[in-house]
Structures are given as structure tokens and as C-alpha cells.
A and B are shown apart, each in its own frame.
Chain A
Amino acid sequence: MKVSYYPGCSLHATAKEYDQSVRAVSGALGIELKEIEDWSCCGASSAHMTNFKLSVALPARNLVSAEKDGLNMMMVPCAACFNRFKTAQFYLKRDEKLRIETENIVGEEYKGSIEVKNPVDFIFNEIGLDTLNKKVTRKLSGLKPVSYYGCLLLRPPEICEFDNYENPYMMDAIMKILGAESRPWSYKTDCCGGSLTLGKTEIVVHLVDKLMRMAKEAGANCLVTACPICMANLDMRASEGMRLPAFYFTELIALAMGVGGPDKWFKMHNVDPRPLLDSLGLI
């Protein structure tokens, strides 16, 4: 299966291990990723928070470039980029005037022919748990993650089209297939403070500490996420004494499938997950 791929800026920098693990896992699951030609930034939160038209035009430039490859699906691992692409598509479909204006700015026709998906949805629905199950060579026994979905994959629901937006289960189901004991908790979709991380760090610390406290209360020994912004906040903003290791869900899939790479990725984390994995005999 060949799909269009938009890594986005953070997967080239702070979320390198997410990019590498998505590529490794996709390869092992038979998904061929075609990186979008000469992509540019989607504008993330900063564009929509200050300039609506810019927040539509920046993703549109990439969508138009992807459409040229003639593929009908596009994988966007970063939850923030995913949200911006889905939002741009939503408004471009609904508002003809905006579409024409945007096409003029971008200089090309926008067809709206590509379905944007994040890898959680992609692996759950396009690949399927059965196929994944067959590829698992080592069960992640003893690992007790809480799945943390955050905001941007799910909300607003009519834009993100992610199943069960108040109590999502896809990442939990994937974890169970890997043999991890996914813990139920009430904070799956609570916000981590996202883009306030530099401008208003103390708010983010407050929110992340709460998540860590609740994860521990739920009996978790780690967190798992599909968002580079959530990951950066979970991995770097919790107060000392509160910290649990956090993973990208694709890193754990790679570990369970025996795909090379995890040892290289885990080193990049701020909260080192290796002592935990080592104590469980998983590395």
C-alpha cells in the first residue's frame, strides 16, 4: 500500500524518534511512504491563533503538492499538523469563496482528493489488528501504559473524525495487541498545554504534573502518545519526582515487532525509559 507522507517540522527535530519509528513500522507493515515533494510547515498553532487565512493557505500548499502524486491517502503523524490539515480541508470544502481565494494564493487548483489520516487510525483501520498481531514477535509483558491522546487528534470531532472522541480506544487496543497492559484512566484527552510550553511554561508544568499523578494513580508505569507536542511536554515538563517515561506508540510497536531502532530512539528521550524496560526484561 502506497500513501503520501507529511512528516512536518517537529519530526525532523525534537520528534526524530517518532519519524524514524513511523518509517520503520510502516516498512515492516508493508506501507510505502511517499514523502510530499518540497513540503513546507503547516503553520501549527501559531498561524491559526493569529491569522486564519494563513492557517488555511499553508496546509493547502502541501495538499496541492500531495495531490499531484495521485495517491488517495496521506499519513500525518504529528497530531498538530494532522489537526491543521483536517481543519483546512474542512473549511476549503465548506467555503467556496475561501477555496478560490486560497487557490489564487497557492497558485494551483485544490481538488480535495486526499484523505488525511494519522497513524493510529491508519494502523487500526487500514492495517488492522489481526495483521499487527501476526507480526508481534515479543509481547511487552509488564508494561502498563496509559494511552494519552491529547486534544489535536480528536477535537473538534466533526473535523478530526476520530472514533469515540470522549473515550478513544484505538491506541489502547493496539497496546493490548502488543501484550502491554493498557490501563484505563480518565485523562486520555485532557490537554497538556500544547503550544504554551515556551510562552507560559508554568501552566504546562501544572497540567503535565496532573497527568503524571493521574497516570500513577491508574497503576501505569509509563505513558504512550501519538503527538510530538504531548510527548515534548510529557518528557520534559513534569516536575522532578513526578516523572514517568513516555513513548511514541510506534516505538512500542517496533519493539514488539523486533524491528531495529528502539535502542537508538530511547536514548533520545529526556526521561530515560531504558531502566523500566530493562527491569521488565524487554531490552
Chain B
Amino acid sequence: METFLDKVNERIGNVPIQRCYHCRKCTAGCPVTFAMDYNIDTIIKMIQMGKEDEVLNSSTIWLCASCETCITRCPNEVDIARMMDVLREMAIESGVRIKEKNILKFHEAFLSSVKMGGRINEPLMIVDYKLKSGDYFSDMAMGISMFMKGKLTLFSPRTKDMKSVKKIFEETKK
């Protein structure tokens, strides 16, 4: 039977994560460790132990900022940044309760804005995110000030050939 570890390795398609010898250099260099529920090397251990639910339910996989410091410094070329991407994809697919809902909602708002216009329309994307997350009031003053400075324009030019953009979204959907 394919284990959780096998599934993760297969999707990363790079060196297998059990190359990790737990030196914890990744965790030491990660800028977001302080906010995570499990350390990065702990996540690797948990994958090896088959703790699928705990890993996919963790906040760690959503808080990873994709800064790629971990892979750059890992002595064993364990691609943790890619592993985090894979774990997020798996969490979405498996329908587990997502620990950091607002982060996923931000990504959804971002991508649906691209799907709609080919390019990000920042004000509309932010409104969409606010509606999705229920986080209405933070950044309001800042948003108004940016609007006044002409940085947030409501009608920015969009991609004309939207058929090709829609097709990309359709055909990469799993």
C-alpha cells in the first residue's frame, strides 16, 4: 500500500525527504518558525510516521511563506518549500479542515481575480478577499489612502484574449 510518505515524495518529484538527517538547519533559518505549530523538521518526521491528518491539519503548511531559505540551506537538498506546496495541495484535495482559513481565502481571491480578468485587479481582489474572510475592517484606512494616491485604480487594463486564460484554469483543475 502506498504510504503517506510515498505520496508526498512522488508529488515532490525530487530527492526523497527521508534524506533528511534532522540537523534542523531548515527550522533554524525559517523566518516563520515562531508562529508555526510544528517545526519544519518535525513535519518531516510526522510524514515518515504516517501522521497524515495531523500534518494536513497543521498551521505550519499554511504559514510557510515560500521564501525558499530552507531548501537553499539544507545540506541534503530536501526541497521543503516544494514539500509545503504539495502538502497544501493535498490538504485542499482531501477536504480536511484548513487550519489557516484566511490564507487559503486570500489565494482563492487572488486566483479568481486572475481567472476573471487575466490580471489582478487589486481593489476588487481585496474586496473579494474581505468578503470571503469576513475580515472587513483591517487596512481600511490604508486602502483609502492608496486609492487617493492613485495606486489602486478600479479600471486597469485587462487581458484581451480571456479564452486562453480560462482554458489554462480549466485544464489545470484536478
Contacts and interface: CB of A to CB of B under 8 A. Distances in A.
B42 interface: no
Interface string A1-42: 000000001101110100000000000000000000011110
A161 B126 CA distance: 33
Nearest to B86: A52
A130 to B, nearest CB: 32
A14 B122 contact: yes
Contacts of B88: 49-50
Contacts of B167: 105, 107
Contact of B69 (A13, A43, A151, A196): A151
Q: How large is the interface on B (under 10, 10 to 19, 20 to 34, 35 or more residues)?
A: 35 or more
Contact of B106 (A40, A61, A198, A207): A198
Contacts of A106: 164, 168
Contacts of B68: 151, 155-156
Interface in A182-202: 189-191, 193-196, 198-201
B150 A12 contact: no
Contacts, number: 158
From B32, B69, B89, B111, name the one whose CB has the most chain A CB atoms within 10 angstroms.
B111
Interface string B149-174: 11111001101110011011101111
B114 A41 contact: yes
B67 interface: yes
Nearest to B142: A236
B81 A58 contact: no
A141 to B, nearest CB: 29
B149 A57 contact: no
B94 interface: no
B71 interface: yes
Contacts of A9: 119-120, 122
A70 interface: no
Given A50-B89, A196-B63, A41 B161 contact: no
A156 B71 contact: yes
Contacts of B169: 54
A12 B155 CA distance: 11
B23 to A, nearest CB: 17
A258 to B, nearest CB: 24
8 contacts: A14-B122, A51-B174, A54-B111, A193-B65, A194-B67, A196-B32, A199-B100, A270-B146
Interface of A: 9-10, 12-14, 16, 38-41, 43-54, 57-58, 61, 104-107, 151, 155-157, 165, 189-191, 193-196, 198-201, 203, 206-207, 236, 267-268, 270
> Lowest 4 CB-CB distances: which A-B pairs, in order?
A155-B68, A191-B67, A199-B103, A9-B120
